[in-house]
Amino acid sequence: MTPIIQNRVLPYVKDNSSQNVWESWKPNDRDLFFLDKDGFYHTKINLNLEFPENDIRQIIDQLLEQ
């Protein structure tokens, strides 16, 4: 695990069987955007029921290597 996220919580919201946070909050966009260290767009992932945790960790690691 990279030092910047070690022992830290990266907040996110996710639907599950007991709570439908997306429906409750009525967001227009379920995309998680990643910016590089200079604030430029890197990529995005659509958040849905199948939260791609491994993909997100990989993107964070890539961005931290730059």
pLDDT at site 52: 74
Q: Find the domain containing 19 and state its range.
A: 1-66
User: What percent of the chain has pLDDT above 70?
Assistant: 64
What is this structure's pTM?
0.54
Q: Which amino acid is at 37?
A: K
Report how far residue 54's alpha carbon sits from residue 45's, in angstroms, rounded to the nearest whole number.
12
Which contacts qualify for 7-13: CB closer than 8 Å, 24 or more apart?
A: 10/56, 10/60, 12/47, 12/51, 13/47
| Confidence category of residue 55, pLDDT binned at 50, 70, 90 | confident
Report pLDDT digits (tens) over 37-51. Answer: 888 999 988 876 566
Total structural domains in the chain? 1
pLDDT at site 3: 57
pLDDT at site 1: 47
